[in-house]
Amino acid sequence: MPDTPDAKAAGEGKPVGAGRQLLFLREEELRLAQDLLFFGYRDFTAGPDAILAELGMGRAHHRVLHFVGRRPGITVGELLGILGITKQSLGRVLTPLVEEGYVTQTPGRNDRRQRLLTLTEKGEALERRLFERQREWVMRAYREAGPVAVEGFRRVMRGLMGTEARAQLDRAAPPDPRSGPTHPKPRSAA
């Protein structure tokens, strides 16, 4: 192997500069990426799946709880855009969450036809329980991989998203904690 900075980095287990060695673009490497995504997602969701199954819920409920928890006061329309599902599909998931006391719906402040969604205390507790189960998996993986790999992972995941999904992520994500201190927005009572 030539004695270049990228070659040295590769020998030390550090990432090789993008475009320098395109061996990762071979079909077998791309199929390995599919396998990694499949098995990673399966194991990442296994813990929450078990918790949800005990409650007669599934991953669709988890997605609603996650995004309503991340964006209290989100409108039904915004949630439909994030999830990329029909109103009817959302209704099958949202109705039981409201009826069982996990989510509240309130009319919009300016447009009373809007429905604003917020987690109840019960919903926050369940969302927190699901998050904590997955947090352990992510923390372990991040620790094992190190900060450079974590940043590479984020770049790859964003690269897998379409333009609209990246825009949704940017709108849904809180400010980057690396950009300095921020003050949390006060939560309005709903």
- pLDDT, position 112: 80
pTM flag (> 0.85): no
pLDDT tens digits along 134-153: 999 999 999 999 999 999 99
Beta partners for residue 117, in sequence order: 74, 105
Residue with tokens 């990442």: 44
For residue 8, give both structure tokens. Answer: 């040295």
Q: Has residue 179 got a pLDDT over 70? A: no
- pLDDT, position 6: 41
Q: What residue spans of 102-178 are helical by DSSP H?
A: 121-145, 147-160, 163-172
Contacts 24+ apart (CB under 8 A), 101-107: 102/65, 102/126, 103/64, 103/65, 103/68, 104/190, 105/76, 106/190
For residue 21, give both structure tokens. Answer: 């060695």
DSSP class of residue 33 equals H
pLDDT tens digits along 23-52: 668 888 899 999 999 999 999 999 999 999
- pLDDT, position 7: 40
- pLDDT, position 109: 84
DSSP class of residue 177 equals G
Q: Has residue 20 got a pLDDT over 90? A: no
- Asked whether 107 and 114 are in contact (CB, 8 A), the reply is yes
pLDDT tens digits along 126-136: 999 999 999 99
Judging by DSSP bridges, how do beta strands 74-75 and 115-119 pair with one another? antiparallel
Buried b (16+ CB within 10 A) or exposed e, 108-131: eeeeeeebbbbbbeebbebbeebb
Q: Has residue 74 got a pLDDT over 50? A: yes
Query: How buried is residue 61: exposed, middle or buried, by Cβ count under 10 Å (0-12/13-18/19+)?
Result: buried
Residue whose C-alpha is closest to residue 77's, from 34, 127, 135, 116: 116
Full set of structural domains in the chain with CATH: 25-173 (1.10.10.10)
Crossing angle (nearest 10°) for helices 121-145 and 27-54: 150
